[in-house]
Structure 1
Amino acid sequence: MTAYEELRLLPWSGPDGKPCFLSTDEPDGHLSRVADNVEAIQLGMAAELLERATDVFADEDVALEQLRPVASDLTRALRDVLRVAVSRGQRLQIPDGVALDGDEDGPRLPAAAFG
């Protein structure tokens, strides 16, 4: 079974707030490309929001009324980015020889490898 024979978590919710999934064996199909574009937009908006939030939080005189909308926007962006990460993680193909969680024989990277 290939990664694309499973359901893909889409970067939007249904009208009732529940997750939406795509079942396709065409990773380059129209709806897959739409989802890819939405993910790219969400990630770009999150990056812009992070810059704005950094500026707001750096201001020692910022009022509570200014913090609430930023916190709300950050929460929404974090939810979107987490959904993108989960969706992309589910679509990763695990190469032969790479250990899954709990497998002590798999390759290990030192913490310094992550910056």
Structure 2
Amino acid sequence: MTAHHELRLLPWAGPEGKPCYLDTDDREGYVSRLADHIESVQLGMAAELLEQSVQVLDDETEDAEKLRLVAAQLAGALRDVLCVATSRGHRLVTPE
């Protein structure tokens, strides 16, 4: 079994919202490729949301409900992006 620091943090949660990890050295396996794809989608959605949120924030006529919705969506996107960054950071090769 791979050491815990070498496990890949996956971009989805398991039961009860707990993190899911993948124990494999095969970066081309099905689950690894699925995780890569989901991470890519999450990053793309975060970029689109950022553009939309800037437009909402620039519009002084937007109501508080719309602003709360944008804030909630941004918080979710930030959570996803931090998960991707953490996962990729753990997979960086570091000299011993």
Q: Return the TM-score normalized by structure 2.
A: 0.91
Q: 1:65 offset after TM fit, Å?
A: 1.0
- Off by >2 Å, runs of 4+ in structure 1: none
Q: Which has the higher helix share?
A: 2
Which residue number in structure 1 is paired with residue 26 of structure 2?
A: 26
Return the alpha-carbon distance in structure 1 between the equivalents of residues 83 and 51 of structure 2: 21
Q: Provide the residue aligned with 1:40 in structure 2.
A: 40
> 1: CA distance between counterparts of 2:95 and 2:57?
42
1:67 match: 67
Q: List runs of 5+ in structure 1 lacking aligned partners.
A: 97-115
Instruction: Report 1 or 2 for greater relative contact order, CA contacts < 8 Å, sequence distance ≥ 6.
Output: 2
- RMSD across aligned positions (CA): 1.8
State the identity %: 61
Q: State the partner residue of 1:78.
A: 78
Counterpart code for 1:6: E
Alpha-carbon distance in 1 for matches of 2:59, 2:67: 11
Q: CA deviation at 1:14?
A: 0.9
Count the aligned residue pairs.
94
The structural deviation recorded for 1:95 is 4.2
Counterpart residue number, 1:110: none
Q: Tell me how far apart the structure 2 counterparts of residues 70 and 94 of structure 1 sit (CA, whole Å).
A: 38
